[in-house]
Homo-oligomer: A and B are copies of this chain.
Amino acid sequence: MGKRKISSTNTKNRDYLKNECGTMYALTLLAGRWKMTILHKLSKNELRFTELKNCIPNISDRMLSLHLKEMENDGLVERIVFAEVPPKVEYKLTESTQDLIAIWDKLDTWGNKHRAIQESEIQ
């Protein structure tokens, strides 16, 4: 998330995989610890930095900021600055990202079903 050593095998592999197919690309964009949660919160309405922070327990300023910036770069969220003091900044999903939300429903269903299977087999 911070700096990366672009010549490392690690980074080369990451980039290679990112170009494999759309699925891998998508998952690469979504990979940060709190990204899905942030997107999920924003799927209901736009929110300010502090509002996001307050509705995501345990996230730190740094992580929130880092993730938002990356997602802005990746075209997942939009950042809207109001010329006020103290500053007011709102975040919202881009149009493209809204299509993603629909897919989550399926993944959500799958995830819950799979978890149920897993838990029943542990007995």
Contact = CB atoms under 8 A, between A and B. Distances in A.
Interface size class of A (residues with CB under 8 A): 35 or more
A89 interface: no
Contact of A107 (B22, B34, B111, B115): B22
A24 B34 CA distance: 10
Residue with the greatest number of chain B CB neighbours at <10 A, chosen from A14, A20, A21: A21
Contacts of A58: 9, 12-13, 16
A88 interface: no
Interface of A: 9, 12-14, 16-17, 20-27, 29-31, 33-34, 36-37, 40, 57-58, 74-75, 96, 99-100, 103-104, 106-115, 117-118, 121
